[in-house]
Structure formats: structure tokens, C-alpha cells
Amino acid sequence: MTPKKGQEGAAPPPGRLGRSLPLLLLMLLVVALAVPAGVAIGPGFLGPARPPGPAPAGPWQLPPATLSTAAGSGSGAGIRPLNAAAPVPDAAALAAQLSATLKADGAGSFSGMVQDAATGEVLFDRSGDEGRAPASNIKLLTAAAALRTLGPDRRFSTRTVAGSTPGTVVLTAGGDVLLGAGDSAPDAVLGHAGLATLARSTVQALQQGGATGPVSVLLDDSLFTGPALSPAWSPEDVAAGEVAPLFPLALNSARFTPGTSTGPRPQDAAMTAAEAFAARLTEAGAAVGIAVAPGVIRGPAPQPAPDGGQAGKVLAAVESATVSQQVDLLLRTSDNYLTEVMGRMVATASGKPASNNGAVAAVLQQLEELGIPAASLHAADLAGLTLDNRVSARQLTAVIRAMTTGPDTRLRSALAGFPVAGLTGTLGSRYSDTSTAGGAGLVRAKTGTLNTVIALSGYVVDADGRLLVFSFIGNGLTPGAAGNKEALDRTASVLAACGCR
């Protein structure tokens, strides 16, 4: 039986959102989406002015009257305790409340950890050091590793290179799997780099070089090594489209249609993208009298000729969205394919083979360098599609604490990508009933779901203004039991409402 249990959830359509959520949440959504990622969280909660009148919780939990950027804020800003004098919740009082909500519906059990983000003080610990299958919560490890190794501003280049044989163009993969088939879209993440734009620029370069055709297209996707599929993945998950063979070049994160998140995927995403490029090159070439031969074959891009010849010369290039923007997307939508590709790019930057094993080793190395012991952690993949993974709640909270308050400010870029309860990403359709509504708009957390696994790890500012990080992991659960997701959401909502003293 495949361990995957469908999609983790998506935000409801705009019409439904407007009908089902109060004005407060709609205002919070505007704040969450309008403020740049580097400063969105702290200033977004604070706001310099607020309407008068009593509030059921602290004023930092109300929507700000205006958006502001704190003095000195920048890419290194981000989460900090919103009230330096706010009391740390009493551990015993908090544990009593969490124990009442964190209960399995049927079989299985939950582990959990809650820490004060500023001090690291453990406020709740239920088997927090026990390694458990974390499902997609393991994506947090790759997000942190990518930001540290590649850097938030890194972009991946997809190039065309003059081949060794005159009249050949080599499409060279550089790790961008979010390519669009049309024109580059500078304001987008998916489709930021477009194959139509690359084709037109390539034709211009060919014209300048005196080419008349016919032109043949080759594909160099040799950046990745090893098997394209992890041996830990179930064939059923691959067939269902949860993931696909990995290549360093793809359209729409290896989907046939932009924005699609379910259903079968291309099994050779690189060749699918190369054929789309060849079609765009044919169109652009026809306009200026340059013919393009049908078909695409794989072949290596030559190194630049030492004598200054054409072979190996870069003809054109398009750049991906930044690593920060891609991390935001993979966390918000829980994109399995993008996560695994990002892991291989981390391996490449670390001097390791860009394979499944190399990617895992590179990510775990980054955890150790962050000061998070990884010896007890087992990662069979990076997307979380297998029950073979073992990560503890303490390790996950340590990663999130490093993102929120740690000294490596590159990790701040991950914060805006955490889904917001009741509003965005895989939490968009949750936190809508009376038992969880208190966390809507406040809880920001990464979800995780397999047939017998459910997890939620993230951060929240409590009613006293204290920033808390948390991780809750359920294993051995009854498949399909709705109460388990509700238990997680109620528990996180308790943290948001906590004035636990």
C-alpha cells in the first residue's frame, strides 16, 4: 500500500474565502501577501497604529492599520519576540492545555515539542527526541539547507550553447524546473523564465552569427547523476503523480499544465521541456528564415573552444526565480518535485554528487553546521513520501527556531513560505470551525500527511506577544480519521491563544 494520502490541501477559491472567513482574516491575508518576505512577519503583526476598543487577545494579533517597515529591517530582519517584556508561558499550564487537545483519533500517538523561540526554553515535550516519520515536514530541512548553501538570491540559468557541429544548438539544463513554455514572466515564480523568450534570444544570436539553417536541437541534462527515482518511493505514488523522475530541467515543476497539483506527470520532464523549446525555436526561426530540424536528441554541451571558435559559446540564457522565492513555493504548496530538485542543487553546490544520496548527505551536513545534531536523523528522501524517514520533533523545532531567531539571517527567507492557517497554501482550507478558528490567520506551519502520518511544525505569536516554535508528529494513526487533523489544528490554536501563566 502506498504511504501517501492524497494532497495535503490547498487554499479555497477566492469566492469561497470571502464568504467563509471574517473580515479580520481577509485583512490579514492582504498583509501576508503584500509585505516583502524579509520583513513580513514581525512588522506585519506589529503595525504602528490600531483601532480603539477592547481586544480578545494582545494587540499584536490584530490587523495593523498601516503597513510599515521597521528601521534597519532588510533581508536579515524577520521574526523576533514582538514584546520583549512578554512572559514566557508556564510550562505546566501549557502542557495541561496541550495534553487535552493532542490526542489521536483511534490508533497511534502524537509526539510534540514547543519551545520559546528567543531562549530555546522547552515548554512542552512529549517524546520530543523520538525519531518519527515526519511526512512533508522533512521539507523544512531542504529549505534551510538551500538557503544556506545556495543563498536566497541565487538563480538557476537555462542556456543555449553552440554545439560542436555547426548548426546545432544545445539546450543546457541548470536546475530550473519552474520554466514556462511562453514568455518569461518577471513577476512570477512558476514561469519566471520562459522558453519562448529563450528561443527568440537564441534566434537573434544565430542571426548575428550568420546562421541560415537548418538548425538541430540537442539536450544536455547531465547535471544530475544516479537514478532519477528514489528507491524509497512507491511506484503507486509515482503513477499517481506525487513525484516523477527527476531532471534538472522541467516545465511547471514537472506538470503538464501550469498550476496543476494532481494527476500524472511527464516521465521525462527534461525532454518534454526540450521539445517545447524546439517548437518555440521553430516559430521564432520561421519569422527570419532560419529552419529548425524536427526532433531533439540528448547530447553534451561542448566546453568553450580555446581558439575562440563558436563551439561552446553561450547563445542565450534565461534566469529562474530566486532560491528564496522557490523555497517559498515549495513550503507553501508542499511541492515534492521542486523539493527533491532543490536538494540536488544543494548537493551540487556542496561538491557532492547530484543524486538522491548526495542530496540527502548535503542537507544533513547543513543541519550539522547549523548546530542541529543529525546523527539520529534518517532521511530516505527529502520530500517526505516514505515512512522510512525518521526525524524528531526537537530537530524540527530546532530548524524553525534557526529560521526565526538564529544567527544565520539567510534562513529568514523561509518564513513567509509557511502556510497561514485558514488563508494560504496547504492550510488554506483548515481552521474554519469554532474549535480551531482561534488559530486562523495566526498559526504559520508546514503540514505533512501520509496514510498513517500527520504532522504540523511552525511558529506562532501567543496572546502575550511571545514567539513560540512547535512541532507535532502523529504516527501509526488510523487512515482517514478526521479527528487527527483537527487535533493538530486545535493544539496549534491553543498556542495562539495562550496566556498560560
Which of 134, 42, 101, 163 shows the shortest CA–CA distance to 385? 134
136 is catalytic: yes
Instruction: Find out whether 415 and 41 touch, Cβ atoms under 8 Å.
Output: yes
Report the relative pairing of strands 157-162 and 168-172 from DSSP bridges.
Answer: antiparallel
Instruction: Find out whether 260 and 391 touch, Cβ atoms under 8 Å.
Output: no
Instruction: Find out whether 168 and 211 touch, Cβ atoms under 8 Å.
Output: no
Alpha helices, H only, 241-382? 269-286, 323-333, 336-349, 356-369
H or E segment and range at residue 296:
strand 292-298
Task: Classify burial at 93, counting beta carbons within 10 Å of its beta carbon; exposed 0-12, middle 13-18, buried 19 or more.
Answer: middle
Instruction: Find out whether 264 and 187 touch, Cβ atoms under 8 Å.
Output: no
Spatial distance between the Cα atoms of 39 and 14, rounded to a whole number of angstroms: 25
Spatial distance between the Cα atoms of 1 and 450, rounded to a whole number of angstroms: 11
Spatial distance between the Cα atoms of 467 and 456, rounded to a whole number of angstroms: 17
139 is catalytic: yes
What is the CB-side half-sphere exposure of residue 161 using CA atoms within 13 A? 25
Strand, helix or coil at 272? helix
- The one catalytic residue among 4, 111, 136, 164: 136
Where would I find the beta strands (DSSP E) of 334-434? none
C-alpha cell at 351: 561538491
Residues 6+ apart with CB under 8 A from 148: 366, 369, 370, 408, 410, 411
Order of strands, sheet of 444-450, starting from the edge strand that comes earlier in the sequence: 122-126, 109-116, 467-475, 453-461, 444-450
Identify residue 244 by its one-letter amino acid code: A
Identify residue 4 by its one-letter amino acid code: K
- The one catalytic residue among 4, 111, 139, 392: 139
For 246-258, b/e burial (b = at least 16 CB within 10 A) is: bbbbbbbbbbeee
- The one catalytic residue among 111, 184, 320, 334: 334
Instruction: Find out whether 391 and 377 touch, Cβ atoms under 8 Å.
Output: yes
List active site positions.
136, 139, 334
